[in-house]
A = this chain, B = another copy of it.
Amino acid sequence: MAQMEVGVLGATGTVGQQFVRLLDQHPWFKLTWLAGSERSEGKRYADAAPWRLSTPIPTESADKIVQAPVPGQGPKLVFSALDAAVAGELEAAFAAAGHIVVSNARNYRMEADVPLLVPEVNPEHLGLVPLQSTRGWKGSIVTNPNCSTVFLAMALAPLRQFNLRQVMVTTLQAVSGAGYPGVPSLDILGNVVPFIGGEEEKIESETKRILGSLRSENGKNAVVPHGVTISAQTTRVPVIDGHTESISVSIDQGVTIEDVKQALMTFRGRPQDQRLPSAPCHPIVYLPEQNRPQPRLDVDRGNGMTVTIGRLRPCSVLGYKFIALGHNTVRGAAGAALLNAELMQSEGVL
């Protein structure tokens, strides 16, 4: 199979760098086009991007010249690591010009005709894409959720069968989620900041959409959000990578702790069935130790694509409670988009 050429919009930022890292040596996609803001345009990528990852910058990308983000230029498939401030207009322009935009930005996530995908959870939401033609776009936009949302949605997906009704979540989020320069060190060294702008709203609304079902109404596909009620409190903690989530759920009485554990451990989806290149063998790994998962020890499992869960036990208020952890810039951002693209390729919609 010939490799498909791909590009990255917003390639110099934190998430853009993860795209560049993850696309290096990718079996299906070949990264040939890096686009950045005016400030970066025309520079060598290595000079334009303040590389903050602990693996060296891929040599093939290091010497590429950063391009202006001009719709119609660059490959058909472009990954978007754009900032929300510019993603709205720019992604639409690229979609209109015929590009398939696989985006990590939040701008189109809640649009009725745009899939908000977690490939293991709701691959069928890809069925929304054809609706976008009514916008007059020759291409399309597909999105992945906010970082904290991905891990929550994956942890809840296997529990839908038990009549999931209520969810409480408190997050302890890593600083890399805020980009670069992002969180000032004076704010977070030895500290907790109990607020992340817009984050709680995104968790509460996006998760319901992801867990929702695709229905055909009057011949048109639409997503009916899941009926679960979700309440989130989000905090920032001095961790580099890895969002920890303290979760309580109310499900049907009579479901045993062993039922829940089995549901989590045996959870699989289309990425596993189709052996997509970035899919972890186990989308969820359950850790039996009483003090796990922990960011420093578990965040890189499955190359950062696995959600680890532990401490499942009864919750006297809601039913069950547990801890979940995911890598916020991999499974929660660039890796999520990449898996979306792999799913689309595998489904033949690229």
- Where the two chains meet, the residues of A that have a C-beta atom closer than 8 Å to any C-beta of B are 14, 51-56, 166-168, 170, 172, 175-176, 180-195, 204, 229-231, 233, 235, 237-240, 242, 244, 246, 248, 290-297, 299-301, 310-311, 315-318, 321, 323
Interface centre among A166, A180, A182, A316 (most CB of B within 10 A): A316
Once the chains bind, are A300 and B181 in contact (CB under 8 Å)?
no
Task: Tell me if A175 and B189 are in contact (CB < 8 A).
Answer: yes
What are the residues of chain B within 8 A of A186 when measuring CB–CB?
Answer: 14, 52, 175-176, 180-183, 240
Least Cβ distance of A55 to chain B in Å?
Answer: 7
Interface contact A55-B229, CB-CB below 8 Å: no
Contact between A317 and B172, CB atoms less than 8 A apart:
no
A260 to chain B, nearest CB (A): 16
In whole angstroms, how far apart are the Cα atoms of A233 and B295 in the complex? 17
Is there an interface contact between A189 and B240, defined as CB atoms closer than 8 Å?
yes
Decide if B316 touches A230 in the complex (CB within 8 Å). yes
With both beta carbons as reference points, the residue of chain B lying nearest to A300 in the complex is identified as B54
Q: Are B240 and A237 in contact (CB under 8 A)?
A: no
Give the number of times this chain occurs in the complex, counting copies.
Answer: 4
Known pairs A170-B233, A231-B315, A233-B323; list 18 more (Cβ under 8 Å). A53-B297, A168-B168, A168-B248, A168-B318, A172-B172, A172-B235, A175-B186, A184-B185, A190-B239, A194-B244, A194-B292, A194-B294, A194-B310, A195-B290, A229-B316, A231-B321, A246-B246, A317-B318
Given contacts A168-B317, A184-B185, A231-B321, contact A52 B297 (CB under 8 A): yes
What is the CB-to-nearest-CB distance from A209 to chain B, in angstroms, rounded to a whole number?
Answer: 16
Q: Is the CB of B244 within 8 A of A235?
A: yes
Q: Are B239 and A192 in contact (CB under 8 A)?
A: yes
Chain B residues with Cβ under 8 A from A315's Cβ?
Answer: 168, 231
| Bound: A230/B211 CA distance, A | 28
Instruction: Quote the shortest CB–CB distance from A95 to chain B (angstroms).
Output: 31
A286 to chain B, nearest CB (A): 14
Min CB gap A27→B, angstroms: 22
